[in-house]
Copies of this chain bind each other. A is one copy, B any other.
């Protein structure tokens, strides 16, 4: 069943070396030979045995992609973009979920090492230092998300929350808002800390009056209750705009604001992040700071790819820092009107 390089060689009347070289384009071959080989390979339906190839080359055509959980809508787009790039370069990706578990994360990386992956992208929110250490020791190219470091075999992607939030605040300013509150995420998450800091810095920079900043849980419920607190303040300190650290939080805010039995500023404006992508669907009225998911995936691949040297040759480029911008998506965010459905169409499956 297994059709090997020998079969192709035999059929083409050449040596296996030639077949190999034709297939990998590693050295010039006479066009006629080339033809014969290609034809033979095709006729036999030959598929290169990657296992053997990898063994010989010492590295596989696999990249590892470690994410928190593919069920979290934040990741599918990243993963898809990563794989699309991989396909373009004739590589494949093994995507592993850590389920937010450090131990499982380390294990995943060990598995990947066993698979002889050519590189690993770790795009989870928190990264176990043991992982970076392991990858470094094994001299495997790696790219991380919002990890500070960069090295010969370590690239880093960071999201420009600072600019994104500044943009959002500017927008609110144009709308006439002056008292702006913030609802953050769990302080133990790096992204939550960075977003909050960006908000505070940006407020200071623009000279706007910082309302309260409350930490919540990145969930709908957290946003809901945080909003209660904010709106229950004495009249002159009730914010007229709220920036929420992610979209679920923002959805919670909107829910609360329209539940009634609460004094809500006429023109309350809410801004969220489009982290989990449902925002647009569930709350077509929510203005969001869009995180460039596809770009993250694409960039992660490129980062790894660029660090890859020739199998036994030059070392490839050094890792570097990639900074990705956000996009402010403006939708009226005061009252979620009940409108006819958007022309969106996310369907077709099963």
Q: Residues of A with Cβ closer than 8 Å to B?
A: 1-2, 45, 47-52, 54-55, 58, 60, 62, 68-77, 79-80, 83-84, 92-97, 100, 110-111, 113-116, 123-125, 134, 137-139, 145-146, 186, 189, 191, 217-222, 224, 246, 248-249, 251-252, 255-256, 258-259, 273, 275-276, 278, 281-282, 291, 338, 340-350
20 contacts across the A-B interface (CB closer than 8 A): A47-B114, A50-B51, A50-B116, A71-B77, A72-B346, A72-B348, A75-B76, A80-B97, A83-B95, A93-B94, A125-B349, A146-B350, A191-B350, A217-B347, A246-B350, A248-B345, A248-B347, A252-B341, A255-B341, A278-B278
A55 to B58, CA, bound (A): 13
Q: How far is the CB of A310 from chain B (nearest CB, A)?
A: 17
Give the top 5 A-B pairs by smallest Cβ distance, nearest first.
A51-B54, A219-B345, A218-B347, A219-B347, A74-B349
A51 contacts which of B45, B60, B123 (Cβ < 8 Å)? Answer: B60
Q: How far is the CB of A307 from chain B (nearest CB, A)?
A: 16
A204 to B138, CA, bound (A): 65
A71 contacts which of B76, B217, B249 (Cβ < 8 Å)? Answer: B76
A345 to B223, CA, bound (A): 11
CB nearest to A115 among chain B residues: B50
CB neighbours of A111 from chain B (8 A): 92
A145 contacts which of B94, B146, B350 (Cβ < 8 Å)? Answer: B350
CB neighbours of A282 from chain B (8 A): 278, 281-282
CB neighbours of A344 from chain B (8 A): 219-221
Instruction: Verify A97–B83 contact, CB threshold 8 A.
Output: yes
Instruction: Verify B220–A75 contact, CB threshold 8 A.
Output: no
Q: How far is the CB of A75 from chain B (nearest CB, A)?
A: 7
Q: A50-B115, A51-B51, A114-B50 are in contact. Are A220 and B342 (CB under 8 A)?
A: yes
CB neighbours of A2 from chain B (8 A): 58
Instruction: Verify B341–A251 contact, CB threshold 8 A.
Output: yes
Q: How far is the CB of A255 from chain B (nearest CB, A)?
A: 5
A255 contacts which of B146, B255, B340 (Cβ < 8 Å)? Answer: B340
CB nearest to A296 among chain B residues: B350
Instruction: Verify A275–B114 contact, CB threshold 8 A.
Output: no
A111 to B96, CA, bound (A): 19
Q: Tell which of A137, A145, A220 has the most Cβ of chain B within 10 Å.
A: A220
A145 to B76, CA, bound (A): 21
A79 to B76, CA, bound (A): 11
Instruction: Verify A75–B345 contact, CB threshold 8 A.
Output: no
A75 to B83, CA, bound (A): 15
A125 to B349, CA, bound (A): 6
CB neighbours of A125 from chain B (8 A): 348-350
Q: A47-B114, A114-B48 are in contact. Are A218 and B60 (CB under 8 A)?
A: no
